Amino acid sequence: MRRALSVMLSCAALASTACASGTAQTAGEPSPSGRRAMSYERPQYATTYERRAYPPVVIRNATILTAAGEEISSGSIYFRDGRIVAVGRSVDAPADAVAVDGTGKFVTPGIIDTHSHLGVYAAPGTTAESDGNEFPVKPNTSYVWAEHSFWPQDPQIPLAIAGGITTIQVLPGSANLFGGRSVTLKLVPGRSVQEMKFPGAPYGLKMACGENPKRVYGPRGGPASRMGNMAGYRAAFIDAEEYLQKWEKWESDQSGDPPERDLGKETLAGVLTGEIGINNHCYRADEMMQMIDLGREFGFTIRSFHHAVEAYKIADKLAEAGTAASVWADWWGFKEEAMDGIKENAALLTQAGARAILHSDSGSGIQRLYQEAAKAMFAGQRAGIAVTTNDAIRWITANPAWVLGIDDATGTLEAGKMADVVVWSGDPFSVYTKAEQVYNDGWLVYDRNDPERQPRMDFELGQVEHD
Band of pLDDT at residue 32, cut at 50, 70 and 90: low
Other C-beta atoms closer than 10 Å to the C-beta of 458 total 11
- For residues 446 and 429, give the distance between their C-alpha atoms in angstroms, rounded to a whole number: 20
321: confidence class by pLDDT, cuts 50, 70, 90: very high
Q: What is the pLDDT of residue 18?
A: 38
**What confidence tens digit (pLDDT) does each residue in 322-374 have?**
999 999 999 999 999 999 999 999 999 999 999 999 999 999 999 999 999 99
DSSP assigned state of 283: -
How far is the C-alpha of 412 from the C-alpha of 68, rounded, in Å? 6
Q: Summarize the confidence of residues 97-113 as an average pLDDT.
A: 98
Q: How far, in Å, CA of 80 to CA of 363, rounded? A: 31
412 has a pLDDT exceeding 50: yes
Is the peptide bond preceding residue 223 cis, with omega within 30 degrees of 0? Answer: yes
Contact criterion met (CB below 8 Å) for 372 and 364 = no
Q: In this structure, which long-range contacts are made by residues 245-251, counting pairs with CB atoms below 8 Å and at least 24 apart in sequence?
A: 246/1, 247/1, 247/2, 247/4, 247/5, 248/1, 248/2, 250/1, 251/1, 251/2, 251/3, 251/4
Q: What is the pLDDT of residue 461?
A: 75
User: 157 versus 461: which is more confidently predicted?
Assistant: 157
Between 41 and 303, residue with greater pLDDT: 303
Protein fold of 110-411: TIM Barrel (3.20.20)
Is residue 278 predicted with pLDDT exceeding 70?
yes
State what percent of residues in the chain have pLDDT above 90. 86
Cα-based torsion angle of the residue sequence 100, 103, 108, 109 in order, rounded to the nearest 10 degrees? 10
Flag the least confident range among 9-18, 49-58, 60-69, 144-153.
9-18
Within 365-439, residue ranges assigned H as helices are 369-382, 389-394, 398-403
Residues 244, 407: Cα–Cα separation, whole Å: 29
- CA atoms of 219 and 241, how far apart (whole Å): 30
pLDDT for res 9: 62
Contact by Cβ (8 Å): 139, 150: no
Dihedral angle at the C-alpha atoms of 402, 406, 411, 417, nearest 10 degrees? 140
Has residue 279 got a pLDDT over 80? yes
- The pLDDT score that the predictor gives to residue 19 is 41
pLDDT of residue 255: 83
Mean pLDDT of the region 163-191: 98
The separation between the first and the last C-alpha atoms of the chain, rounded to the nearest angstrom, is 61
Give, in order, the Cα–Cα distances in Å from 263 to each of 8, 116, 137, 364.
11, 23, 16, 33
Could you tell me the pLDDT band of residue 160, with boundaries at 50, 70 and 90?
very high
pLDDT at 366: 98
Give per-residue pLDDT as tens, 387-400: 999 999 999 999 99
- The per-residue pLDDT for 254 is 79
Q: Is the peptide bond before 136 cis (omega within 30 degrees of 0)?
A: yes
Measure CA 148 to chain center. Answer: 16
The mean pLDDT of 392-417, rounded to a whole number, is 98
pLDDT of residue 6: 67
Q: What distances in angstroms separate CA 291 from CA 59, 102, 161, 446, one per listed residue?
A: 45, 46, 34, 40
Q: Which pLDDT band holds residue 3 (cuts at 50, 70, 90)?
A: low
How many Å is the Cα radius of gyration of the chain? 22
Residue 221: how many CB atoms within 10 A of its CB?
9
Specify the pLDDT at position 35: 72
pLDDT at 7 over 90: no
The whole-number pLDDT of residue 458 equals 81
DSSP 27-78: TTPBPTTSSBPPGGGS--S-B---PPP---EEEEEEEEE-SSS-EEEEEEEE
Is pLDDT at 17 greater than 60 in this prediction? no
**Helix, coil or strand: residue 358:** strand
Average pLDDT over residues 222-236: 98
Return mean pLDDT, the chain.
Answer: 93
Confidence class of residue 10 from pLDDT cuts 50, 70 and 90? low
Of residues 458 and 371, more confidently modeled? 371
